[in-house]
């Protein structure tokens, strides 16, 4: 049975406590807080979104994942495919922000390790091995949902706005379909505060595509090399394939 770590480090150094207020919450207190009426039901709900604004190494985020995955094991585990799809949907509803790089990285690792261990255990119960595409999709979801930045300024460590992805299922999840497709749409933290509705699939900043230069052709002046930034969006894909981060042209 996958378990949350037994040894708890609640303080890394006196300096970090003074500078960043870095004191981690012990497991017993996390449990007590997640058992509060109202919060408990949300933590066991498949799609209820959680945002941890000062995530640390993920004590709350991993505990929420544990509760959501327990619910998925109970209700959406008729087949391994169903578990894979619903566990990724559950994972996609947990978000975090953390100021310090090492904590943010540890948080991503702790979230992934927990997902990996429970998935492996469930796969073995079905006499199967964990699939690479499911694990890679979990990695992409966890990384996209965890931002290293400052919750107060709403800026990421690179100085850009904090960006989160919404993973919207196109299926009726109550219908207990075995496979789920999703639209990934990016929002800044400010958009979320403003309750903005972005176009499905839209990116905060689409990557520039530099049109290929013919190496054997005439030398082309830099101004003739075209780049396009605006007309791409995320494709609608199976949740078990989000690791491909497929983009499509809007036109
Ligand atoms: C008190 S610890 C709590 C960590 C975690 N929530 C827990 O309960 O174990 C506070 C964490 O918040 C982070 N932090 C402090 N100010 C922050 C800010 N403005 N934005 C995001 N994270 C911040 C610190 O780096 C530290 O890891």
Cα of 98 from ligand 1 centre, angstroms = 6
H-type alpha helices, the chain: 14-20, 27-34, 39-43, 59-75, 80-91, 101-125, 132-145, 189-193
Average pLDDT across the chain, whole number: 89
Ligand 1: list residues with CB < 6 Å: 20-25, 52, 54-56, 59-60, 97-100, 103, 150-152
State yes or no: pLDDT of 41 exceeds 70: yes
Give the pLDDT band of residue 5 (cuts 50, 70, 90).
Answer: low
What are 158-185's pLDDT values in tens digits? 999 999 999 999 998 877 778 999 999 9
Q: Taking the chain, what is the end-to-end CA distance rounded to the nearest angstrom?
A: 49
Which residue CA neighbors atom 6 of ligand 1 most closely?
55
Cα of 44 from ligand 1 centre, angstroms = 24
What are 11-35's pLDDT values in tens digits? 777 777 777 777 788 899 999 999 9
- At 1 the pLDDT is 45
- At 53 the pLDDT is 97
List for the chain the helix, strand, coil content (%; round to 5).
Answer: 40, 15, 40
CA distance 239 to 207: 22
More confident residue, 218 or 79: 79
Q: What are phi and psi of 132, to 5 degrees?
A: -60, -40
CA distance 6 to 99: 25
Assess contact for 185 and 165: CB atoms under 8 A: yes
Return all residues near 196 (Cβ < 8 A) that are at least 6 apart: 187
Cα of 21 from ligand 1 centre, angstroms = 7
Cα of 245 from ligand 1 centre, angstroms = 29
């Amino acid at each position: 049975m996958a378990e949350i770590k037994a040894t708890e480090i609640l303080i890394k150094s006196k300096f970090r406590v003074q500078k960043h207020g870095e004191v981690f919450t012990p497991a017993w207190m996390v449990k007590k807080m997640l058992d509060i009426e109202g919060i408990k039901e949300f933590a066991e709900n498949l799609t209820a979104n959680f945002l941890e604004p000062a995530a640390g190494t993920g004590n709350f985020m991993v505990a929420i994942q544990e509760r959501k995955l327990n619910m998925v094991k109970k209700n959406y585990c008729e087949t391994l495919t169903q578990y894979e799809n619903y566990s990724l949907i559950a994972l996609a509803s947990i978000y975090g922000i953390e100021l310090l790089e090492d904590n943010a990285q540890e948080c991503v690792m702790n979230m992934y390790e927990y997902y990996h261990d429970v998935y492996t255990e469930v796969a073995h119960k079905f006499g199967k091995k964990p699939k690479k595409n499911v694990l890679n999709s979990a990695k992409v979801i966890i990384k996209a949902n965890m931002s290293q930045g400052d919750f107060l300024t709403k800026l990421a460590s690179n100085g850009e706005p904090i960006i989160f992805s919404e993973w919207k299922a196109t299926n009726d999840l109550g219908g207990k379909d075995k496979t789920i497709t999703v639209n990934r749409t990016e929002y800044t933290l400010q958009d979320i505060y403003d309750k903005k509705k972005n176009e499905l699939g839209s990116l905060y900043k689409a990557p520039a595509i530099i049109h290929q230069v013919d190496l054997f052709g005439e030398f082309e002046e830099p101004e003739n090399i075209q780049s396009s930034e605006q007309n791409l969006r995320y494709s609608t894909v199976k949740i078990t394939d989000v690791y491909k981060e497929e983009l499509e042209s809007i036109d």
